[in-house]
Chain A
Amino acid sequence: MSTLLEVSGVSVSFDGFKAINNLTFQIGPAEMRAVIGPNGAGKTTFMDIITGKTKPDDGHVLWGEKSVSLLSMSESQIAQAGVGRKFQRPTVFEDQSVRENLILALKNKRGPLAVLRFRARQQDHEKVASLADEIGLQSALDRKAGELSHGQKQWLEIGMLLAQDPQLLLVDEPAAGMTPAEREHTTDILVEAAKTRAVVVVEHDMEFVSRLNCKVTVLHEGSVLAEGSLDHVTQNERVIEVYLGR
């Protein structure tokens, strides 16, 4: 199987504290992966490295068929290359309408001059409408995002992520603050997305992870502790010791 993203031997330390220690990780072009680990295991730092927010001290991060290094690219270049990220707490642009939020995220040219000349085309409107339908915000398109409830903001952010049409989705605790029905819908969207692209889900909630029914990577103290099916890793003694507790 070819790989979309290959992280090898990556280390990063903050003031002497090794947040990521010789981490190696691979994911294919159409694969779902759950990343779990106790607090401080380095899950967020791991995402920061892939998205270019944090530069590692050591190691390689290679992307795509041509294996270009992501380390020399800026956050915006990495995002344009096809890495989309959803943050733990919803970060939508509250002062702007749901429609404006979605149009911002739509996959179009990103340069200032192109954006200055931008006029939404028929297909853009259709895309926005179908996304709004999928995330249940079709009647809220012209409302300000700041007026939405917490759960709706989560949905809007998922919608923005899909609008970017990335090859790799990094999703940080997508189900936080959602009702059971909404969680189910989120699972459906993520599973559907993973058919055509790579999805990495960071999650605390084991029940949610089991529902994703995918390969699991367990992080601990900045490196991979175990990898495999959920059943496989939950039977690993080291995993039980550090994560599941006794």
Chain B
Amino acid sequence: MVDMTSTVEPIRKPLVLRYPSVAIFLIFLSLFTAIITVLGEGFGIGLISTSFIKTLGKTLCLCLAALAMDLVWGYTGILSLGHMAFFGIGGYAIGMWLMYARTEIIVVDSLAASALPPTAQEISDGIATQIFGVVGASEFPPIWAFAHSLPLQLAAVVLVPGLLALIFGWLAFRSRVTGVYLSILTQAMTLALSLYLFQNDSGLRGNNGLSGLQNLPGLDSVPQSTVSILFFWASALALGLGYLVCAWVVSGKFGSVIRAIRDDQSRVRFLGYSVEAYKLFIFTFTAVICGIAGALYYPQAGIINPAEIAPIASIYLAVWVAIGGRGRLYGAVIGAAFVSLLSTWFTGGQAPDISLGFYTIQWVDWWTILLGFSFVAVTLFAPRGIGGLIDKLTERRAPDRHGADLGPDLGSLREKEANE
């Protein structure tokens, strides 16, 4: 009675072949990287300025963060508005080492001129005075205990965001906080963190933040044009690997479970899955991705301060993913790249002002308003975002919602037929 042809186990093709979008994305990313390398100053013909290479490299890091946001929001339906906090923590973790190691070289050099060889204590005091002079301190706060070690700070890039997400998520999911309440809670988390870091005695230089991060210790002789390309490559590699890992996670049964959680979590519970464990897993996993993205971003930006993890940053992240298209990985990347580059163009003073005779629209001020309107427009008229255009080409079909609204987690593809 069972059709035997349908029971033969299908041969499992590699991920890249099962999901053509993964292969297409990786090809695009490699081509893009190659073209930019050729056009850049470091190893190429120098058509593109170093500062623009840095902008592109930073954009790739933002794309990686957007991937994480898509996983947590577009696939699992948790509208976290605090993921840029993890991004910032990653930046601070790597920034501490960069600042320490570079200051150490300067201090050792300057003390080398003295008659007696400097003691370890003198060197340490010298570094502390250099770094913390701006906040009126001259001793290392305990949080800097590992700043001398690159491996330990690299571990912190992954562990600190992961641990914070694990604790926060455990508390929130265990109490079954969902929907808009969870969004508010994540906003509170990132706001609290940012306010704490603004204090001078937080140990991370208050509102001055960490600076000079673009100078790699011991590589003063290497020009920034080369360093920028190296970071650009690292960012592209991280984005490519991140895309592969995310594609692997959302393919197969795990992806099926998290999409089911997004659409009807109580039903998933009655199937015997611990919804909380899955949410916690995704929340922590994406926090780690954001931490890594931040650690690659800030050496290219050169400076990190607490304003970077203000609540608005995480809201931007959600806007990028919404405009790009939720619930598809390439949508998140397209949205982040498109909107953040556009934002750089508008706010960089390159966009021509529009004169209306009685009033001149200056894009530096009006860009945010334009972005706000486009977010509203996308939510209302094109809930599938830019990625929806690709559906038009490939005719991918989503269930007809019969006009049911998108629910508090805007976007997730859910369909309740309760009222039928």
- Point out residues on A near B: beta carbons under 8 Å: 51, 53, 74-77, 79-80, 84-85, 87, 89-91, 93-96, 100, 103-105, 110-112, 115-116, 118-122, 125-126, 129-130, 133, 138, 141, 144, 146-147, 150, 160, 164
Cβ contact of B277, chosen from A75, A85, A91, A112, cutoff 8 A:
A112
Q: Which residues of B contact A121 (CB under 8 A)?
A: 9
- State which of B94-102, B184-192, B255-263 sits at the interface with chain A: B255-263
Q: Does the CB pair B273–A76 fall under 8 Å?
A: yes
Bound form: Cα–Cα A172–B8 in Å = 35
Q: Does the CB pair A91–B267 fall under 8 Å?
A: yes
B1-39 interface mask toward A, CB cutoff 8 Å, 1 = contact, 0 = none? 111001111101000000000000000000000000000
10 tightest Cβ-Cβ pairs between the two chains A and B: A146-B399, A79-B272, A75-B269, A80-B272, A118-B253, A112-B281, A95-B413, A76-B274, A94-B415, A93-B260
Q: Does the CB pair A112–B269 fall under 8 Å?
A: no
| Interchain residue pairs with CB less than 8 A apart (12) | A76-B270, A76-B271, A93-B260, A93-B267, A94-B263, A94-B414, A95-B414, A103-B253, A112-B277, A129-B2, A144-B399, A150-B420
Tell me if B365 counts as interface (CB < 8 A to partner A): no
* CB-based A-B contact count at 8 angstroms: 116
Bound form: Cα–Cα A232–B10 in Å = 54
Bound form: Cα–Cα A77–B266 in Å = 13
- For chain B, which range describes its interface: under 10, 10 to 19, 20 to 34, or 35 or more residues? 35 or more
Bound form: Cα–Cα A96–B258 in Å = 11
Bound form: Cα–Cα A73–B210 in Å = 48
Q: Does the CB pair B3–A138 fall under 8 Å?
A: yes
Residue picked from B263, B267, B272, most chain A C-beta under 10 Å: B272
Q: How far does the Cβ of A45 sit from chain B's closest Cβ, in whole Å?
A: 15
Bound form: Cα–Cα A177–B388 in Å = 35
Q: Which residues of B contact A112 (CB under 8 A)?
A: 254, 274, 277-278, 281
Tell me if B264 counts as interface (CB < 8 A to partner A): yes
Q: Does the CB pair B257–A104 fall under 8 Å?
A: yes
Known pairs A94-B399, A122-B9; list 15 more (Cβ under 8 Å): A74-B274, A79-B269, A79-B271, A95-B415, A104-B257, A125-B7, A125-B10, A126-B2, A129-B7, A130-B2, A133-B3, A144-B399, A146-B415, A147-B399, A160-B271
Bound form: Cα–Cα A160–B272 in Å = 12
Q: Which residues of B contact A160 (CB under 8 A)?
A: 271
Q: Does the CB pair B274–A95 fall under 8 Å?
A: no
Bound form: Cα–Cα A89–B416 in Å = 10
Q: Which residues of B contact A164 (CB under 8 A)?
A: 271-272
